[in-house]
Structure 1
Amino acid sequence: MPVAVGPYAQLQPSCFDLMKMGLVMGCAVGRVAGALFSTFCLRMGMRGWELMGSTGKSMMLSGGTFGAFTAIGMGTRC
């Protein structure tokens, strides 16, 4: 593709911006995966606050882990 030259040229996102985007996308995907995997707690007989606590913990742990690895992966591509 031709490169735009002039006052209206578009700039590429910085490496830090790419890592932030990877972190946010990874956290979102990890939270959804944590919510899906925590439904196995229903089979163990958890109900009420115990179920909500384990679901929240699972979502935060998987979101943080997957987000960190996605951000590192985006950083290595810079």
Structure 2
Amino acid sequence: MPLAVGPYGQSQPSCFVKMGFVMGCAVGMAAGALFGTFSCLRIGMRSRELMGGIGKTMMQSGGTFSTYMAIGMDIRC
């Protein structure tokens, strides 16, 4: 597979790294929704506080897992 080159000569991340990042983000956010909902309800959060807690957990787990998946796909390719 040829290496993609940007307008100034630097190489762009390959499709596999981008795909790994997006796939990791989707999986991480789904896991964050499940675990975030459970943990926020367990400590007694309600309404706006609950939605903020779930969103924060989703963003954290999505970002973390997408980084690991992108690195893993980069090593694999």
TM-score (norm 1): 0.79
List structure 1 runs of 4+ shifted beyond 3 angstroms.
12-15
Structure-1 separation of matches of 2:2 and 2:26:
21
Structure 2 stretches lacking a partner, 5+ long: 4-12
Aligned counterpart, 2:74: 75
Counterpart check, 1:26 vs 2:24: yes
* Displacement of 1:43: 1.4
Deviations 1:22-48 (A, max 9, x none): 000000000000000012211111001
- Structure-2 separation of matches of 1:63 and 1:32: 8
Root-mean-square deviation (CA, aligned residues, Å) is: 1.5
Q: Percent identity?
A: 63
Higher-Rg structure is 1
Aligned residues: 67
Cα separation, 2, equivalents of 1:19 and 1:38: 27
Counterpart check, 1:45 vs 2:44: yes
